[in-house]
A = this chain, B = another copy of it.
């Protein structure tokens, strides 16, 4: 499988640089007869696109999706669904000075080291613009999960530059999240976060933070016991996103401060369909790599945006010391636009595992 693909049974293959024809994705493995419209895909893309508010980059891109194949009369055919979004508001001239000078903590230098060639007219393949492919394909995964499995995925900005929030993850909705420009359902926290982001922009600086995501309604048994654990695939998905530096599920790093007797989730009789539940959920909904029917939740750390307007020390391609002043448009904080991307990757992981389980559970029960 190519390195621009993700997933096993529900698989995406992506392409595109920030400056060039466009970006896109092929979804291979979406089951036939799924009703899906370009409007549903566009709705998720609109939550990702630049220029949504004063908190994001002023780069204007409509990011209109075009469906080239795989659908017929509103339903998936079972053949690959291909989606493209053309680049429009590209301004390569803004990057002229980056042709031979490396931006600190960007991928310019490592791209040259790896490939010996680089499209310097922007971030190239390493641009966050590439995540359009994730969001567009994730919208299809989301629809499949909702329709076939009753699974829903919601993410939100839970922390910005140390400012935390309080959110009820059993009940939070996308509408709650989109109540403000920060995409944090805790209104007072959101106000403080917004101020921190404006402050960073004013200082020609940037800030990072944490996105929390929850998946509700996941049936027990999804995921694999060894490498393709649900948390392992989620970790890979999240760490493959631009600017991410950490992932934790359930109790995470904080769990290392508890003893086993404090940390273990006691099993209790369940309710309704699910005859077994847990009294607590420090496991974060997965045990031994497989879902246990409780909400799956995890947190992803984003570093502060690497692009800042301040003059920075760096080197040129020859290794000579120089300075750089960034001119491209950029977000002082990527968190608000990261929310739909995190959700998309989560949907892709869950749709894949849900489909994989279809080929596990095929023989009659024992005895």
Contact = CB atoms under 8 A, between A and B. Distances in A.
A262 B303 CA distance: 11
Contacts of A268: 313, 315, 321
Q: Among A110, A204, A266, find the residue whose CB has the most chain B CB atoms closer than 10 A.
A: A110
A354 to B, nearest CB: 9
Contacts of A262: 304
Contacts of A247: 235, 239, 246-248
A330 B226 CA distance: 20
Given A78-B360, A240-B232, A289 B126 contact: yes
B116 A301 contact: no
Q: Among A69, A72, A126, find the residue whose CB has the most chain B CB atoms closer than 10 A.
A: A69
Given A80-B4, A245-B249, A16 B68 contact: yes
Contacts of A255: 208, 245-246, 301, 303-304
A210 B253 CA distance: 8
Contacts of A109: 220, 267, 276, 287, 292
A84 B68 contact: yes
A151 interface: no
A59 interface: no
Interface stretch (A20-28, A50-58, A178-186, A336-344): A20-28
Given A33-B117, A251-B245, A358-B362, A315 B264 contact: no
Interface string A256-297: 111111111111111000011011001110111111110000
Contacts of A82: 15-16, 21, 24
A47 to B, nearest CB: 21
Interface string A1-42: 111111011010111110011111010110111100000000
B28 A4 contact: yes
| Size band of the interface chain A makes with B | 35 or more
B33 A365 contact: yes
Contacts of A204: 261
Interface in A91-122: 102, 104-107, 109-111, 113-119
8 contacts: A15-B28, A17-B69, A78-B114, A114-B290, A148-B363, A253-B253, A263-B306, A269-B320
Nearest to A226: B4
A178 B48 CA distance: 48
Contact of A355 (B28, B161, B206, B359): B359
Interface in A176-204: 200, 203-204
Given A33-B363, A208-B256, A235-B236, 11 more contacts: A3-B228, A3-B356, A6-B227, A14-B80, A24-B69, A33-B366, A110-B220, A207-B260, A248-B248, A251-B303, A275-B318
A31 B360 contact: yes
A201 B150 CA distance: 43
